[in-house]
Chains A and B, each alone.
Chain A
Amino acid sequence: MGKLYDRLNQDIRFIEGLNGCLNCGVCTAICPAAEFYHYDPRVICATVQSKDEKMIEALIRSETIWYCGECMSCKTRCPRNNTPGFVIMALRKLSQELGYFTDSEKGRQQFAIKRAIGGNILRTGYCVNPDIVSPQMHPEQGPVWDWISMNTPEIMKKMGSNYKQAGVGGMRAIAPEVLEELDRIFEVTGCYTLFDTIEKHSKHKANELGIEISDEGIGNEYFMTVYTENNGSHNG
């Protein structure tokens, strides 16, 4: 398997993201995730910089690495030109590859993201669009969302979008040749391999927990479990 630290060092984001951290805390002071979660990008840099394999393993098995919102505010301020957000990306990738992400509640959500957003992109060319955001799955959208989702075509028309039609404009249908291109990009960049890895480890976890999981889509018990579970200990 090789040492975790060495594997991180093969990731360009890690090489670019950590140039020697002086532990000043500016990244944490600017980080929106640190305001809400038990999360401290400075400590993450210090942990990784220690090259302590046990601590790095604990980190990529933990909830912590999944709190970052990838906003890259930390990049703008660090006096050493580090980007903790990049370090997080490299840690997440390693956690995905090794299957450690299934050890944590936030990590298990990788499965939901892969099935939902990952599926959406390949099917429609959009990460999210109004058709996909169902009121049942998204109570945070509020009661008005019910009405919008029942009247989407009319509303989209009123708003001047090119809803589901060929050609240009917002909300247009993405052309088949573009979707094919996306498919090739996912193939060439290793995205499909990563998807398969997430599937494999998630299925393993589902079986371990005795929760039903399907081969496709979001209509299965494991999806709903990782989508909704919240142990309440992430912040506060």
Chain B
Amino acid sequence: MAINSQHIVIIGGGPAGLEAASCLGTAGYRVTVLEKEKQTGGKLLIWDKLFPEFRNSDKVLNHLSNGFKTNPPQILTNAEVVSVIPENGQHRINLRDGQAFQADTVLITTGFKLYNAEKKEEYGYQIYENVITSFDLEKQLKTGNPIRIEAGLTPRRIAFIHCVGSRDIKSGNIYCSRTCCITGVKQAIEIKRRLSDAEVFNFYMDLRMFGQNFEELYIEAQQKWGVTFIRGRVSEIAENKDNSLQLKAEDTLSGRPIKMSFDLVVLLAGMVPEPRTVEIGKSAGLEFTSGNFLAGLDSHISQNETNTPGIFIAGTCREPLSVAETLTDARAATVKMISWLRENETSHKKPLIKRDND
């Protein structure tokens, strides 16, 4: 297979980065993936089962790794990118350890960070021992161990709180994180599967079941698993003497303020951009959305191109997305990158990987 000499660097080896790498490799491009962790896979390494079909996240990871049969990319781990500087029609990618790479085009797929739920102090995360985040729960589920609260007991009443750090001017994030509603449904079902006697409640403002089979999963949660959904945003949580938690909300559909006790409260914390991604964006002269995610050139017709020619973005570094959407987005970005590389092929560049400290 003829390998194109043009060089593409993908920053971030999560679902978006890996999917883009396999598409571009198959199309005959020379690709380098820079991943800051010691392993690629992004959040898929942490999540247990994936909505909507409860497939093990490993399955998707395997699929992504199998995409590399033809022309596999060069994957560098422990390689944290700190800046991208446009230079002589190319791009210079700087790592934290001082290494640098040259690329004809760059795809940023650095993903998202979980909103720091400590900031909503009224929910008591890191204050009350039985208040955890969806991230913490996912890690616990992945161990396969029985679900326990801090005292080693089995929780009997569990609450999920939606929109923690999203849709909230007070926390600075006006946007909806999109996937936390369905994550709440997924995790509620997963708890009922493992603890059939537990009572599980979800406190929501709106349920955003936009994806294929999401609404079906919501119905299943209600009908098959007996999960209760209460429409009301939680105002605060307090700890009782026995370490159980008292939660205050309004049941807005019946118009009554309610107080309920729970053994475990799970905060569905939203998605926020990685601070490092913001730095990279600034170094490359990119623009940002109102939520500080990397902004595409146009919200309808070119979401993956940026205002800096040759720099592309995909996945949750540009907006909250599910895995399926992330992969679609990554594939879409590669089409735009290939067009761009074709148009810029004529220029005489030396596209070899160059390491400054070689």
Contact = CB atoms under 8 A, between A and B. Distances in A.
A181 B250 CA distance: 45
B248 interface: yes
Contacts of B255: 40, 42-43
Contacts of A28: 250, 252, 257
B38 interface: no
Interface residues of B, number: 21
B217 to A, nearest CB: 23
Contacts of B249: 25-26, 29
Contact of A77 (B122, B205, B257, B258): B122
Nearest to A22: B205
Given A79-B167, A79-B169, A79-B233, A29 B257 contact: yes
A49 B9 CA distance: 51
Given A24-B205, A79-B233, A81-B170, A35 B257 contact: yes
B234 interface: yes
Nearest to B258: A29
Contacts of A80: 169
A61 to B, nearest CB: 20
A94 interface: no
A30 B248 contact: yes
B233 A26 contact: yes
Contacts of B169: 79-81
Nearest to A31: B257
A23 B231 CA distance: 10
Contacts of A34: 250, 257
B236 interface: yes
Interface in B158-177: 163, 167-170
B235 interface: yes
Contacts of A77: 122, 170, 235-236
A42 B170 CA distance: 18
Interface string A126-145: 00000000000000000000
A24 B282 CA distance: 36
Interface in A70-84: 77-81
A94 B93 CA distance: 63
B236 A30 contact: yes
A25 B233 contact: yes
B232 interface: yes
Given A30-B236, A34-B257, A79-B233, A25 B252 contact: yes
A31 to B, nearest CB: 7
Interface residues of A, number: 20
A75 to B, nearest CB: 10
Given A35-B257, A77-B122, A79-B168, A24 B236 contact: no
B250 A40 contact: yes
B26 to A, nearest CB: 45
Given A77-B122, A77-B235, A79-B169, A24 B252 contact: yes
Interface in B219-266: 231-236, 248-252, 255, 257-258
B238 to A, nearest CB: 12
Nearest to A32: B257
A30 B235 contact: yes
A11 to B, nearest CB: 22
Interface string A27-55: 11111001100001011000000000000
Most buried by B among A22, A27, A29, A30: A29
A67 to B, nearest CB: 13
Nearest to B171: A79
Nearest to A78: B170
Nearest to B253: A25
A24 B257 contact: no
A194 to B, nearest CB: 32
B342 to A, nearest CB: 47
A23 B255 CA distance: 11
A44 B257 CA distance: 14
Contact of A24 (B122, B232, B258): B232
Interface in A3-32: 22-31
A81 B167 CA distance: 11
13 contacts: A24-B205, A25-B232, A26-B233, A26-B234, A29-B235, A30-B236, A30-B248, A35-B257, A40-B257, A77-B170, A78-B170, A79-B170, A79-B233
Given A77-B236, A81-B169, 18 more contacts: A23-B205, A24-B205, A24-B233, A26-B232, A29-B234, A29-B235, A29-B236, A29-B248, A29-B249, A34-B250, A34-B257, A40-B255, A40-B257, A42-B252, A77-B122, A79-B163, A79-B169, A80-B169
